[in-house]
Amino acid sequence: MERRKFIKQAALSSFATLIGTDIVFGSKLLDGYVPLAMQDPDPFALFSKDKGMVVLNDKPWNIEATADLLDDKVTPNSSMFIRNNGKVPEELDASTWTLTIDGESVSTKKTYTLADLKSKFQHHTYQLVIECGGNGRKEFDPPAKGNQWGVGAIHCASWTGVRLSDVLKDAGIKDDAVYIGFHAVDVHLSGDPEKEPISRGCPMSKALQDETILAFKMNGKNIPKIHGYPLRLVAGGWPASVSGKWINRISIRNKVHDGTKMNGKAYRVPCKPVAPGDKVKDEDMCIIESMPVKSLITYPKSGALLKKGKTLKIRGHAWAGELEVAKMEYSIDFGSTWNACTLEKPVNRLAWQHFTSEIEFPKTGYYEVWARATDTNGVAQPMILPGWNPKGYLNNACHRIALKVT
């Protein structure tokens, strides 16, 4: 780097000496020249992420956490996964930001400034689980298309904003309203301004829930740019793609929203179960709504060496989409026997729940600790991969960590 700066200055000053004046565009010209490899930004510094985060893709940015990085009760920005469908918008000005409510089923199309939203409607803060629909995709066999997420495309941060229902009602919802669809300012990867990278939504019933909010704060601060500054739709418990970032328009639709990634195979699973690897027609794919029951052991990190006779304290989180987790268990014998963990209630609906337990090991050797959550409908996490689907969504198989007692 130093050498580059040096030659740049050397070249510029010599050129200036030659023509006897400063070169106005000189710095720009040479800036553009710095070889691509040198421009590669450091994503950890760029987005204030923990160095332990895993970069799956750098264009577009897709970065996930490891289980142990998600140990906090409220996920800090440094451990929050990043999923982008397009290019991150460059200019984001909160002072001129507006949100328009339109669509076939709005009574009167209305535009609000960000200041309007903040002053006109009551503020609410909720801790909300946002999990990528493809979290765990990596494990499917035959492999499923897309970013190969491990376990870390999930977070539960604290979001502050106004209820989407308050805003929609202020604009007026017609009786024939079925769905909402969001629109945002991010740019398609091909650069085509006519194309939206993603424009998804949810049925009115989800849109009108108390916890579905238009957020302008995350963990008490302005939302980081990469997570949707200055306005993000947050719909906890549903695939993260419903929680649109950089939102500037919401359409109230009289039919299921048909924006980008609502159709084809995106965020859909076969309506009826299929065998692994089966071809499924688009019309036989159904939209994912609530995410399934799931849990993560966030302490200790996999690979612990434990002295014999010591008690192992484990902890983690469990969540169940629209539902609550009713029971949390662990096993150290590959599911032959299960033991109950202590499970906390969620701080609010759609927040994850924390669990702890203490484990004694009968003898030295290799162990795996498996965690299993059961939701209020009595549905538990499977130990092996759940139903295969072409895009590898909804893998809620039990999380496990390896451990040796020495």
Coil vs helix vs strand at 367? strand
259 binds another protein (CB under 8 A): no
Tell me the closest approach of the beta carbon of residue 251 to another protein, in angstroms: 20
56 binds another protein (CB under 8 A): yes
Tell me the closest approach of the beta carbon of residue 390 to ligand HEC, in angstroms: 9
The CB-side HSE value for 284 (13 A sphere, CA atoms) comes to 10
13 binds ligand HEC (CB under 6 A): no
Residue 46 near which of ligand HEC, another protein, none (CB within 5-8 Å, type-dependent): none
169 binds another protein (CB under 8 A): no
Q: Which residue stretch of 25-33, 90-98, 234-242, 325-333 sits at the interface with another protein (rule: CB under 8 A)?
A: 25-33
Phi, psi of 316 (to 5 degrees): 180, -165
Q: Hunting for tokens 């946002």 — which residue is that? A: 130
335 binds ligand HEC (CB under 6 A): no
Nearby residues of 300 by Cβ (< 8 Å), 6 or more positions away: 68, 312, 314, 401, 403
Residue with Cβ nearer another protein (364 or 376): 364
Interacting residue with ligand HEC among 75, 77, 79, 85 (CB under 6 A): 85
Site for ligand HEC in 104-143 (CB under 6 A): none
Residue 295 near which of another protein, ligand HEC, none (CB within 5-8 Å, type-dependent): none
The closest of 371, 373, 370, 342 to 358, measured between CA atoms, is 342
Task: Give the number of other CB atoms < 10 A from CB of residue 297.
Answer: 27
What does the alpha-carbon distance between residue 19 and residue 31 come to, in Å, rounded to a whole number? Answer: 20
The CB-side HSE value for 6 (13 A sphere, CA atoms) comes to 3
Residue with Cβ nearer another protein (234 or 398): 398
211-250 in b/e form (b: 16+ CB < 10 A) is bbbbbbbbbeeebbbbbbbbbbbbbbbbbbbbbbbbbbbb
Site for ligand HEC in 55-74 (CB under 6 A): 60
Tell me the closest approach of the beta carbon of residue 143 to ligand HEC, in angstroms: 10
Interacting residue with another protein among 73, 118, 124, 301 (CB under 8 A): 301
What does the alpha-carbon distance between residue 52 and residue 140 come to, in Å, rounded to a whole number? Answer: 24
Q: Which residue stretch of 32-40, 162-170, 225-233, 345-353 sits at the interface with another protein (rule: CB under 8 A)?
A: 32-40
Tell me the closest approach of the beta carbon of residue 189 to ligand HEC, in angstroms: 4
What does the alpha-carbon distance between residue 231 and residue 229 come to, in Å, rounded to a whole number? Answer: 5
Q: Which residue stretch of 135-143, 209-217, 354-362, 372-380 sits at the interface with another protein (rule: CB under 8 A)?
A: 135-143
141 binds another protein (CB under 8 A): yes
The closest of 350, 84, 117, 77 to 222, measured between CA atoms, is 77
Site for another protein in 75-134 (CB under 8 A): none
Site for another protein in 172-191 (CB under 8 A): 188-190
Tell me the closest approach of the beta carbon of residue 283 to another protein, in angstroms: 16
297 binds another protein (CB under 8 A): no
Residue 29 near which of ligand HEC, another protein, none (CB within 5-8 Å, type-dependent): another protein
Residue with Cβ nearer ligand HEC (190 or 376): 190
The reply to whether omega before 292 is within 30° of 0 (cis) is no
Q: Are 16 and 26 in contact (CB under 8 A)?
A: yes
What does the alpha-carbon distance between residue 323 and residue 377 come to, in Å, rounded to a whole number? Answer: 8
The closest of 9, 29, 30, 12 to 21, measured between CA atoms, is 12
CA 316 to chain centre: 18
The closest of 14, 41, 39, 38 to 26, measured between CA atoms, is 14
Pairing, β 98-102 against β 247-253: parallel
146 binds ligand HEC (CB under 6 A): yes
Residue 148 near which of ligand HEC, another protein, none (CB within 5-8 Å, type-dependent): another protein
Coil vs helix vs strand at 272? coil
Residue with Cβ nearer ligand HEC (60 or 150): 60
Interacting residue with another protein among 51, 193, 305, 309 (CB under 8 A): 305
189 binds ligand HEC (CB under 6 A): yes
Residues that bind ligand HEC (CB under 6 A): 60, 85, 145-146, 189-190
Kindly list the residues in this chain that would bind another protein in the complex (CB under 8 A): 3-4, 6-7, 10-12, 14-15, 17-18, 29-30, 32-33, 35-37, 55-60, 139-143, 145-148, 188-190, 192, 195, 260, 264, 300-306, 310, 312, 368, 383-385, 397, 400-402, 404
